[in-house]
Structure 1
């Protein structure tokens, strides 16, 4: 399973690809490749999904240079690139400090 360090390096280097879903969401939410690379520097795992439907994945929190918070769900399958499953700017009404889901 891919480590957080591997994911960080790949995101920062631009070694990532989008699922069709993630590509649509990036366009709809105006999230650029540059912002993903910037957030890659600071990402941490906030939720881990080892038994996810298709493959192990995790939800990351990272911040752009402009301090925009991004949640990026990625596959944890070992590969030369990181596959982004979905991404969005977390809603403060749904998250506490962007890390804990409100109940």
Structure 2
């Protein structure tokens, strides 16, 4: 994550409440985590999917970057499902 502002979208704040995830959990997952997918063509800014662990709990965080303003937007956060991801929580299962 870049050193500029962190902007929390309304969507992610709703999802965090629903999923029992705090801001410190999200920031910890992003700072200690790894980008596992990049979406350079996303609009209006490139985005990425980050996998991080908070007290052993895997979290996926989708964020985007506005490099010109040095802003990071937190888009959504969820606990990855083993229905959709392998045991490493990085690799998507094939249908």
Shift of 1:9: 5.8
Report Cα offsets for 1:33-79 as digits up to 9, x if no partner: 12123213321111100111322101000111x11111000012224
- The aligned counterpart of 1:4 is none
| Structure 1, unaligned runs of 5 or more | 1-6
TM-score normalised by the chain length of structure 2: 0.84
Q: Does 1:100 align with 2:91?
A: yes
| Structure 2, unaligned runs of 5 or more | none
Q: Does 1:71 align with 2:60?
A: yes
- The aligned counterpart of 2:14 is 24
**Which structure has greater helix proportion?**
1
RMSD: 1.8
TM-score normalised by the chain length of structure 1: 0.78
Matched-pair contact (CA < 8 Å) for 2:51–2:61: yes
- The aligned counterpart of 2:27 is 37
Q: How many residues end up aligned between the 2 structures?
A: 92
| Shift >3 Å, 4+ stretches | none
Determine the C-alpha separation between the residues in 1 that align with 2:73 and 2:27. Answer: 13
